[in-house]
Structure 1
Amino acid sequence: MRAFAELLDRLSLTASRNAKLVLVRDYLKATPDPDRGWALAALTGDLTFDAAKPAMIRKAVEGRVDATLFGWSYDYVGDLAETVALIWPGQSDHRPNREPELGEVVDALRAAGRTEVRALLETWLDALEPKGRWALLKLMTGGLRVGLSARLAKTAAAMMRPAEAVAPPKAEGGEARAVLEPVDVSAVEEVWHAVDPPYADLFAWLEGRAERPSPDAPGRFRPVMLAVAVDETADLPRLDPADYAAEWKWDGIRVQAVVEGGVRKLWSRTGDEISAAFPDVMETLAFAGALDGELVVWRDGAVAPFGDLQQRLNRKTVDAKAMAAFPAAVIAYDLLADETGDLRALPLRDRRARLEALVGAHPEARLHLSPLVDYADWTELARLRADPPVGAAAEGLMLKRWDSPYVAGRPKGPWFKWKRDPHVIDAVLMYAQRGHGKRSSFYSDYTFGVWTEAGALTPVGKAYFGFTDEELKQLDKFVRDHTVERFGPVRSVRAERDFGLVLEIAFEGLQRSSRHKSGVAMRFPRISRIRWDKPAREADTLDGVMDLLDALESGGGRVARS
């Protein structure tokens, strides 16, 4: 555990992307199997333990430490793993002779029942130093939060290929040696779903000791091609509109629908299988191949707002009532494979022709073709983007080069996303909560509200990004200086008609919500500006927010702001 703990600690304190890559690569090269494989699974989110729960960790620490003291400490630190790691007293007279290895911890947790985990946890916490305790608890709860994406971890794994393996053979007369090509992260992603933790066969290939694992498992996930945000000033003037197909950026979630060799799978863009939550879609797919598209709720011949789809997301199973109320469908916009084989190397124009034929011949209404947007120039397309005829179901536009192959990752140039400008309201700060990780000492999660007709504030959203580090310090100081009540890690902030902090909130959309007192929920809210200059009484009203919601639902998109 010591090497894994050191890795997590250094990753959490390192901001540089390249430095993080080197840290993970060096760890994977220096650490033996199976520990490095379990570490990679943890970093990519592919290692979970059903029997390890935060409530059990709290019970364990409250058995060693006064509950009130622990509560105060947790309130101050703001992170469960960090608090327990620091406050755990240990038992020096029963201290084990050695710290557990990462592989030992994983094997024990995978085999343990829920009643056995607490005893294991206490034994390990007794054996470990604070840094190791923190790493153990992060591993158990799955909350690593060290600023490393799954793709970045796979990129580091791809970098393991030894430097000498890519050198050319010696000159004539010298001893010949095999030449191994460098490994790109897309090649790792291609085989990722064909290998299992702790990835011994993957590492054997990366180190040149074995052949590449076969990626050809039926129903497998293909690494996705992503778009970059278009810069209207720098990008559009140098691009020829005739080179690009335009289509709506649908307001759903990116999926791959795969039907191969009798295997049906529905994958999210991150490679998580979600087939069980959408049996109504899976049962009707009648094609051979792999589609890339958008999962939406389809009602009355049109895409429903994203809030309807949220009623179906994050469920392991779904009942008939939910399927009837929120019927799901896939809007297809690319074809990665068909019955003839892999199509990704073909240009988009050819893949699109095959996709149109496939969807046109499909017998069920759960599969739709993403229509192309006709336009003559960027000016005309900009007008359509600002006021799309499909209303709230479109976040903006996608631009795709007709000659582009389907390439994993986010290459600059072939695909662009041109999102609509965000909606903006002025709201008043009401509550603040401590953050996690580097922000555990700051009040960085902010709940904000707007004025009701009765003159009271009602919460409409929560945001925890959009501000600079310097602005975070200013916001934190405001919260501490103007706290009126405390509720554990949450503080209520003074917010009155004649006193309060106004935040300009940008967001992508609104939806009706019976779970929120205001009756409305925001999509992707963030703080775009701190309005130190604006009186709280001039913040927006709930009536104004509901007017915007009505406009969005009716196919408009903007209402005038005072």
Structure 2
Amino acid sequence: MQRFAELLDRLVLTPSRNGKLKLIADYFRAVPDPERGWALAALTGELDIRSVKPAMLRDLMLDRMDEVLFGYSYDYVGDLAETIALVWPAPHDGTGPLRNDVPSLSEVIGTLEGATRIEGPKLVAEWLDRLDSSGRYALLKLVTGQLRVGASSRLAKQALADFGGKDITEIEEMWHGLDAPYLALFDWLEGRADKPVSAARSPFRPVMLSQPLEEPDYGRIDPDHYAAEWKWDGIRVQATCEAGVRRLYSRTGDDISAAFPDLAEAMEFEGSIDGELLVARPGGGGEPLLDPHGSVLRDDIVVGTFSDLQQRLNRKSVSLAVQRKHPVFLRVYDLLQDGADDLRALPFRERRERLDRFMTKLEPTRFDVSPFIPFQTFDDLARARSHPPHAVIEGLMLKRWDSAYVPGRPKGPWFKWKQDPHVIDAVLMYAQRGHGKRSSFYSDYTFGVWTGPEGAGELVPVGKAYFGFTDAELKQLDKYVRDHTTERFGPVRSVRATRDEGLVLEIAFEGLQRSPRHKSGVAMRFPRVSRLRWDKPAAEADRLETLQRMLPA
């Protein structure tokens, strides 16, 4: 446990990706089985400890500390695990943490997997008494599954590949057939055994990604060499079905099938398809479902916004009510596996011809083909990009007709040409503490624009951003928030924002949509701070009408 605690501490304090990769790979070299395997499971989110939940940990703390004092501490630190780790009292017998009595990862995980929800918190309390603050932090992060140390599942897999001198695609393709603590995997990586034979049915096939289209490449794009499609505003997924096992994967290889049982139920095929997951909401305008030839399939079902799709994301289960309100379908781009045939080495043109035939067997209300955009010149594409027919489109995809399906992001075969971001000037209204290494900074910012009569209006919130600024700018923003706070609401501060005094933020965002859930009536897609406008008076920030004019008809 102590080495795992040291790893988490160093990951939090290491900003660079390469630095994090080296830390994890070095940990795998230094730590024996099965400890390193359980650490890998924690880093990749494969652990599911059900006997302990965050609310139980809070109750443990309130048995040992005044509720008001704990509330102030939590407000200042901003992270539950870190707060408890720092303020947990030493045992009443005065012995304090005992490093020679530190539990191992195997002990913690094995014991908690067999514990009830009554036993789990008691076990955690006993271990907290035996650990120092760093060990307590690691233990609490482990049992809640909320590491937040800047290391994604794919980063951990890349570190594993670096450690063993393998290609990450080999690990990703076998991953869902492996079980923690991954003894056979480490034996292979260290050269003591042959490559494990994946037991996974419907394995993940690492996705092919595109490069942003830049001006030097404009001249390469012509209809003889490239096909053009719309870039839909959903999430990229892979639907795979083999011998009755149905799995829906995110682009990073995470199994998200549980959040979309309605789509999984319709996956009655043998193969693997690549596409964009979208919400099909009843009526009300939008882009209708199309058949593979571009004809309207059903005019009572239209493509919903990304905001609609967010109601389904990151859930372990979804109620029938949510499924009915936000039904999903897959707009298919590519065919990777057709029965027993692996098609990834074939040219894109041949894969799409096979895909058109493959799609005739699928339920049309759950699967359709992304249609091509006809063009003769690059100017035709530029016009299409500037005037997409629907708000759920965020640009163009350009793919070479002769391109094989290659994992990763090769240069040249596929390009994405997104629309230019929208930009507005807004006023900072609220700030909230961040998490992890940002827990002592006010780094999450709510901003608004003016509405009401000119010269006498009020600010209405239109979005929230927590990236786009440098570390130096973060310190400036944090100081501004502290110096101009007018009210406090737990971890949130209200910032002075009037026509005469306020900080203007230049906000860039990818798209805009109507939203009855927000007071302003609008919701932004991917907002971020692009510039701090210290020079601009708050009264000159944009008005709500400016955003309303950006809304699609």
Output the TM-score relative to the length of structure 2: 0.90
Aligned to 1:244: 226
Deviates more, 1:536-545 or 1:90-99: 90-99
What is the CA–CA distance in structure 1 between the aligned matches of 2:259 and 2:3, rounded to whole Å? 38
SS at match of 1:114: coil
Q: Is 1:127 aligned with 2:124?
A: no
Matches within 5 A, 1:127-526: 127-161=130-164, 182-215=165-198, 217-230=200-213, 232-237=214-219, 242-298=224-280, 300-301=288-289, 302-318=302-318, 321-362=321-362, 364-389=364-389, 391-453=390-452, 455-526=457-528
SS at match of 1:291: strand
Deviates more, 1:53-62 or 1:479-488: 53-62
What is the CA–CA distance in structure 2 between the aligned matches of 1:12 and 1:268, rounded to whole Å? 25
What is the CA–CA distance in structure 2 between the aligned matches of 1:27 and 1:149, rounded to whole Å? 16
- Give the drift of 1:54: 2.2
Alignment CA distance shift 1:13-1:279 (3 Å): closer
- Any conservation in 2 of the 1:285–1:364 contact (CA below 8 Å)? no
What is the CA–CA distance in structure 2 between the aligned matches of 1:290 and 1:194, rounded to whole Å? 17
Deviates more, 1:349-358 or 1:234-243: 234-243
Q: Which amino acid aligns with 2:276?
A: E
What is the CA–CA distance in structure 1 between the aligned matches of 2:340 and 2:357, rounded to whole Å? 14
- Give the drift of 1:104: 0.9
Deviates more, 1:380-389 or 1:476-485: 380-389
- Any conservation in 1 of the 2:275–2:330 contact (CA below 8 Å)? yes
1:382-403 residue CA offsets vs partner (Å, 9 max, x unmatched): 22111112x2111111122222
SS at match of 1:160: helix
Output the TM-score relative to the length of structure 1: 0.88
Alignment CA distance shift 1:431-1:149 (3 Å): same
SS at match of 2:517: coil
Deviates more, 1:290-299 or 1:58-67: 58-67
SS at match of 1:90: coil
Alignment CA distance shift 1:242-1:216 (3 Å): farther
- Give the drift of 1:439: 1.5
- Give the drift of 1:257: 1.6
- Give the drift of 1:156: 1.4
What is the CA–CA distance in structure 2 between the aligned matches of 1:341 and 1:99, rounded to whole Å? 52
- Any conservation in 2 of the 1:385–1:420 contact (CA below 8 Å)? yes
What is the CA–CA distance in structure 2 between the aligned matches of 1:5 and 1:311, rounded to whole Å? 34
Matches within 5 A, 1:81-100: 81-91=81-91, 92-93=94-95, 98-100=101-103
Aligned to 1:172: none
- Any conservation in 1 of the 2:429–2:446 contact (CA below 8 Å)? yes
What is the CA–CA distance in structure 1 between the aligned matches of 2:207 and 2:354, rounded to whole Å? 19
What is the CA–CA distance in structure 2 between the aligned matches of 1:22 and 1:276, rounded to whole Å? 33
Alignment CA distance shift 1:414-1:279 (3 Å): same
What is the CA–CA distance in structure 2 between the aligned matches of 1:319 and 1:82, rounded to whole Å? 33
- Any conservation in 1 of the 2:11–2:23 contact (CA below 8 Å)? yes
Q: Is 1:35 aligned with 2:17?
A: no
What is the CA–CA distance in structure 2 between the aligned matches of 1:530 and 1:95, rounded to whole Å? 46
1:197-249 residue CA offsets vs partner (Å, 9 max, x unmatched): 1111211221222222223633222222222323x234435666643222111
SS at match of 1:255: strand
Alignment CA distance shift 1:325-1:64 (3 Å): closer
Alignment CA distance shift 1:202-1:502 (3 Å): same
- Any conservation in 2 of the 1:194–1:213 contact (CA below 8 Å)? no
SS at match of 1:82: helix
- Give the drift of 1:316: 4.3
CA RMSD of aligned residues (A): 2.2
- Any conservation in 2 of the 1:311–1:326 contact (CA below 8 Å)? yes
What is the CA–CA distance in structure 2 between the aligned matches of 1:28 and 1:316, rounded to whole Å? 30
Q: Which amino acid aligns with 1:208?
A: G
Equivalent pairs, count: 529
Gaps of 5+ in 1: 162-181, 555-562
SS at match of 1:155: helix
Aligned to 1:44: 44
Q: Is 1:5 aligned with 2:1?
A: no
How high is the sequence identity, in percent, across the aligned residues?
Answer: 63
What is the CA–CA distance in structure 2 between the aligned matches of 1:88 and 1:326, rounded to whole Å? 44
